[in-house]
Amino acid sequence: MKIRSGFVSNSSSSSFIISLKKIPDSVEELMKMMGLVPEFYASHIPDPPLNAEDYKRLKLYSRQDIAQRIFHDMQDEKPLTKDQVVEKLVRELRPPGIRYNDFEDPVTGRTDWKAYDKAKDAIVRPMAEADINAIDPGWVTIELKYADDNGSEFEGLLEHLVMSDFQDTDTMIVRPFSNH
Beta-bridge partners for 5:
8
Query: What residues does each domain of the chain span?
Result: 13-94+139-179
More confident residue, 179 or 110: 110
Each residue of 3-39: pLDDT tens digit?
A: 334 444 556 788 889 999 999 999 989 988 888 754 5
Each residue of 76-94: pLDDT tens digit?
A: 899 999 999 999 888 888 8
Contacts for 112 with CB less than 8 Å, ≥ 6 apart: 103, 104, 105
- Per the prediction, the chain carries an average pLDDT of 80
Range in 6-10, 110-114, 121-125 the model is least confident about: 6-10
Q: Is the pLDDT of residue 142 over 90?
A: yes
On whether the CB atoms of residues 80 and 141 are closer than 8 A, the answer is: yes
Q: Is the pLDDT of residue 2 over 50?
A: no
More confident residue, 27 or 63: 27
On whether the CB atoms of residues 90 and 73 are closer than 8 A, the answer is: no
DSSP tag of 179: E
What pLDDT does 10 receive?
56
Whole-angstrom Cα distance, residue 87 to residue 126? 11
Whole-angstrom Cα distance, residue 163 to residue 175? 9
More confident residue, 55 or 83: 83
Q: Phi-psi region for residue 163, left (φ > 0), alpha (ψ -120 to 50) or beta?
A: alpha
Q: Is the pLDDT of residue 123 over 80?
A: yes
Q: Is the pLDDT of residue 160 over 80?
A: no
DSSP tag of 116: H
Contacts for 160 with CB less than 8 Å, ≥ 6 apart: 7, 14, 148
Q: Is the pLDDT of residue 112 over 90?
A: yes
pTM for the structure as a whole: 0.74
